[in-house]
Structure 1
Amino acid sequence: MGRPDVLVTAASRRVALVRALQQAQARLATGGRVIATDIDPFSPAVHVADLAAAVPRSDAPDYVDALLDVCDAHDVGVLVPTIDDELGIIAAAADRFARLGVVVMAPTVETAHICRDKLRTATHLQQHGIRVADTWTPDDVRARGLQPPLFVKPRRGRGSVGAFPALKPGHLEFFLGYVSDPIVQEYLDGPEYTIDLFCDLQGRPISAVPRQRLVIRSGVSDRGRTVKSRVLMDLAVRCAEVLDFRGAVNVQCRVVDDVPVIFEINPRFSGGIQLTLAAGADFAEWTIRAARGEVLQPCLGAFTDGLRMSSHEASLFLSDADADVLAPSARTLAGEQS
């Protein structure tokens, strides 16, 4: 990676990730900055980053062009997407970024589309013999006469938005009508884990860190602990054998009767990545080193077991003038002048 800057898209609240990348830049003496993009100038991560840039929403037709403008205007050598909505869009443009010298830390287009669609995720994993929550369309549920307890969520949702347990028949019908484009999963009753997985640019697993999610707030782990479980680490590695990942991934599962059952996979940094980083699995540094072309050595199990995280709120205090933190891209300026 001749270009030292790191671009984090849709940075929003990802202060821990931005700071971890900044610290990795300093340790590696790259001389690079961490640049954040967002649509909101008052998102905290854009004020922590070394530089911030305004871009349109990820569903805008010129989103990729705006990111390319930011990369071209600076010395961006690696792009780290952070939200599910944009993964397939950015993965499809990986060659365009490569022509600028930018490495995209995202899965292949096919893997991004499979993981974005929870029904496709379940089908794909089942076809490869990996235990995953049984998943149905509403029509399947009605045709089979399936009854609660069940779990209703958007087929292409993210976080915990629109996800609800349906514990009674009345709940099921209500949430099927309430949730947009829903799917239904079997109700999993057991401790919940996120397995943070890191893969190099060839898709090889470098590290897998299981984290028990003890307290969850708005879909993100508020309290958790690392667990050195070979079964859970092997499960993440198995997922990397049947899906083509690059960079950070998080595999979400519950352990039911001592068997881990996956309910979704997100091929991006998790919201609780700070616990994995604190446990000694430096996904941030590996992101930069992989983009630089370094060969990473697998270190499965090399992290602190039983490390606990207890998160708390922290605030930035800004003024109206801080809205100027988002530097307009060349494309934004052109749009304003037209």
Structure 2
Amino acid sequence: MIKEKINVLVTGCGGDIGQSIGKILNEYNLINNLYGCDISDKNAAKFIYTNFFLGLPCKDSNYISNLEKIVEEKNIDFIIPVSEPELRFLSKENINKIGNSELIMASSVALEVGFDKLKTADFLKKENLPFPITQTVANIDSVEKFPVIMKSRTGSGSSTVSIVRDNDTFIALKKGNSDFIVQEFLEGDKGEFTCGVFRSRSGIIRSIILKRELMGSFTGYGEVIENQEISQLLQNVAEKLNLIGSINVQLRLTSKGPVVFEINPRFSSTVRFRHLFDFKDVEWSIEDVLGIPISDYRESSVGKKLYKGFNEYIE
């Protein structure tokens, strides 16, 4: 029997994604009680989540048992894990339920492929999808053609990403960075795109394409665009991954067409903007797990723009 209202816990809610999800769920009519926890209270999440509390890091031996206790005490129906360390841990341990609470996150293959940038490139190649030539740094003594991209195979964000234009820089970065990959630099003055992709358990696929400009490691500006070639590629990626849930796909539009260079198997930092553009993948994910009809998607946001802003909170 489906409950009219549900209790949801968002873990790792202190970051920008967790705060954005909190704003979405505070307005969602299926929510009874919304809880949020983070390993730190020195963030603005406590102003967004009325029921905010400190949690344990996933490396703590009591991480799961602590969540089981919270699920029972608060009668939590669903947990949305947000932080990448948590998602990596839960994926590695093949955990999709804690106590009586089901986890809302991308399906296992998407997690496995997306959290390893070499596996991402290998997956694309295997499935005959456009891919950037990618190798581990340990397998390369010298680079034949510059520039190349060097980045952590398993890291997230842009802090570990470098455009390398000469051999001296390559050798310097190679030292002490054995987990790095060397990736083809994707030329293309047509821009970089961040794309939301959702696929339901019944196979409904929805996507949104944002042409973006970065502000640090985040999308600071973006515009919703329409591109059938990109849309078809996103559909192919979702199908080949046998995706269930929501992911974020990053690509560049090159002379040979769109090429994916990263798959983030989680809700994106643009999740709130996408929600305002009617791409409501957080709500759809909850509806899908509940087994109720997925809300309609009104694809009417082409040309709309997003601008990353800031809120101030004091106490």
TM-score, normalised by the number of residues in structure 2 = 0.89
Runs of 4 or more consecutive aligned structure 1 residues displaced over 6 Å after TM superposition? none
Instruction: Report if the CA contact (8 A) 1:249-1:270 is conserved.
Output: yes
Matched, 1:222 2:210: no
Displacement of 1:279 after TM fit? 1.2
Alpha-carbon distance in structure 1 between the residues aligned to 2:96 and 2:309: 40
Matched, 1:111 2:115: no
CA spacing shift, 1:79–1:305, aligned 2, 3 Å? same
Matched, 1:66 2:66: yes
Alpha-carbon distance in structure 2 between the residues aligned to 1:183 and 1:310: 32
2:294 aligned to which of 296, 309, 319: 296
3-state SS of 1:295 partner: coil
Alpha-carbon distance in structure 2 between the residues aligned to 1:17 and 1:121: 26
Displacement of 1:284 after TM fit? 2.7
Displacement of 1:179 after TM fit? 4.0
Displacement of 1:186 after TM fit? 0.7
3-state SS of 1:249 partner: strand
Matched, 1:207 2:206: yes
**Cα displacement string for residues 177-220 of structure 1 (whole angstroms, at most 9, x for unaligned residues):** 254621111111231101101222x2724320011112x12321
CA spacing shift, 1:74–1:57, aligned 2, 3 Å? same
| Structure 1 residue runs without a partner (length 5+) | 319-338
Alpha-carbon distance in structure 1 between the residues aligned to 2:248 and 2:73: 31
Displacement of 1:116 after TM fit? 0.8
1:135 is aligned to 134
Q: How does 1:237-252 map to 2 (within 5 A)?
A: 237-252=235-250
Instruction: Report if the CA contact (8 A) 2:13-2:36 is conserved.
Output: yes
Alpha-carbon distance in structure 2 between the residues aligned to 1:247 and 1:109: 10
Alpha-carbon distance in structure 1 between the residues aligned to 2:35 and 2:178: 34
Matched, 1:313 2:299: no
Moved more, 104-113 or 9-18: 104-113
1:13 is aligned to 15
Alpha-carbon distance in structure 2 between the residues aligned to 1:76 and 1:296: 22
2:280 is aligned to 282
CA spacing shift, 1:106–1:285, aligned 2, 3 Å? closer
3-state SS of 1:129 partner: coil
CA spacing shift, 1:199–1:64, aligned 2, 3 Å? farther
Displacement of 1:120 after TM fit? 1.0
Q: How does 1:40-189 map to 2 (within 5 A)?
A: 40-91=40-91, 92=93, 94-97=95-98, 100=100, 102-142=101-141, 145-177=143-175, 179=177, 181-189=179-187
3-state SS of 1:66 partner: helix
Displacement of 1:262 after TM fit? 0.7
Alpha-carbon distance in structure 2 between the residues aligned to 1:298 and 1:132: 32
| Structure 2 residue runs without a partner (length 5+) | none
TM-score, normalised by the number of residues in structure 1 = 0.84
Displacement of 1:261 after TM fit? 0.8
Alpha-carbon distance in structure 2 between the residues aligned to 1:96 and 1:310: 36
CA spacing shift, 1:232–1:111, aligned 2, 3 Å? same
Alpha-carbon distance in structure 1 between the residues aligned to 2:32 and 2:227: 36
CA spacing shift, 1:174–1:205, aligned 2, 3 Å? farther
Instruction: Report if the CA contact (8 A) 1:8-1:35 is conserved.
Output: yes
3-state SS of 1:304 partner: coil
Instruction: Report if the CA contact (8 A) 1:226-1:276 is conserved.
Output: no
The percentage of aligned residue pairs carrying the same residue is: 21
CA spacing shift, 1:172–1:42, aligned 2, 3 Å? same
Matched AA of 1:118 = K
Instruction: Report if the CA contact (8 A) 1:226-1:306 is conserved.
Output: yes
1:23 aligned to which of 17, 22, 27: 27
Displacement of 1:268 after TM fit? 0.7
Number of residues of Structure 1 aligned to a counterpart in Structure 2: 308
Alpha-carbon distance in structure 1 between the residues aligned to 2:229 and 2:159: 29
Q: CA RMSD in A?
A: 2.2
Displacement of 1:287 after TM fit? 2.6
Matched AA of 1:75 = N
Which structure exhibits the higher relative contact order, with contacts defined as CA atoms closer than 8 Å and separated by 6 or more residues?
Answer: 1
CA spacing shift, 1:13–1:89, aligned 2, 3 Å? closer
Displacement of 1:310 after TM fit? 1.2
Moved more, 233-242 or 2-11: 2-11
1:328 is aligned to none
